[in-house]
């Protein structure tokens, strides 16, 4: 799969088969995450791989917007040191996670972190030290749903040449 195909075929999936994701695939995905660009190359991220069903269930009770984390075999939690561009950097890493998962035949859904009122609950649950921000929680697994096409705004409504 080429990059453009991965970008265009990725869709958020919120229902997963129970099959575990092999550790090698998880590590491949995270190896791609660390190659994301970062402001001043500070690479402020760290990744917590949560496979334990009890911990995933607890995260899902904190994050009512992401109940699917309870049933996804893996949840990758992206945290960043509290640097100037932590959010942009962490989001770039998160997008790499989604695209690498797509390439490996896995589906995913990004669940919000930063700005959510459950940030401290999730960070505390996962024993993340002080000074880190919760960026995202990515559910990953084999899809168990038929993906309806999510409408995307047409390119010609978005592009301006030279001036807005």
Ligand X SMILES: Cc1cc2nc3c(=O)[nH]c(=O)nc-3n(C[C@H](O)[C@H](O)[C@H](O)COP(=O)(O)O)c2cc1C
For ligand X, which residue of 26, 60, 66, 97 counts as binding (CB under 6 A)?
A: 66
- The values of phi and psi at residue 80, to 5°, are -135, 145
Tell me which residues in 14-53 interact with ligand X (CB under 6 A).
14
Using CA atoms, how far apart are residues 96 and 26, in angstroms rounded to an integer?
Answer: 12
If the CB atoms of residues 11 and 70 are measured against ligand X, the closer one turns out to be: 11
Query: How many residues of this chain interact with ligand X, rule: CB under 6 A?
Result: 10
DSSP assignment string, 7-25: HHH--B---B-SPPPPHHH
Contact (Cβ atoms closer than 8 angstroms) between residue 132 and residue 46? yes
Q: Shortest Cβ distance from residue 161 to ligand X (Å)?
A: 26
Please give the residue whose beta carbon sits closest to ligand X in the complex: 12
For ligand X, which residue of 36, 74, 77, 111 counts as binding (CB under 6 A)?
A: 111
Q: Give the three-state DSSP class for 31.
A: helix
User: How many residues belong to the chain?
Assistant: 164
Residues that bind ligand X in the complex, under the rule CB under 6 A: 11-12, 14, 65-66, 109-112, 150
């Amino acid at each position: 799969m080429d990059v453009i195909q991965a970008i265009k075929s990725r869709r958020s999936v919120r229902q997963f088969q129970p099959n575990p994701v092999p550790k090698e695939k998880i590590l491949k995905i995270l190896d791609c995450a660390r190659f994301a660009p970062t402001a001043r190359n500070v690479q402020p991220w760290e990744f917590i791989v949560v496979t334990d069903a009890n911990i995933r269930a607890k995260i899902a009770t904190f994050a009512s917007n992401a109940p699917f984390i309870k049933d996804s075999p893996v949840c990758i939690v992206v945290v960043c040191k509290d640097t100037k561009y932590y959010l942009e950097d962490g989001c770039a890493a998160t997008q790499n996670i989604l695209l690498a998962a797509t390439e490996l035949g896995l589906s995913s859904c990004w669940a919000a972190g930063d700005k959510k009122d459950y940030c401290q609950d999730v960070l505390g649950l996962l024993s993340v030290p002080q000074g880190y921000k919760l960026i995202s929680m990515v559910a990953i697994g084999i899809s168990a749903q038929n993906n309806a096409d999510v409408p995307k705004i047409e390119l010609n409504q978005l592009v301006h040449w030279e001036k807005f």
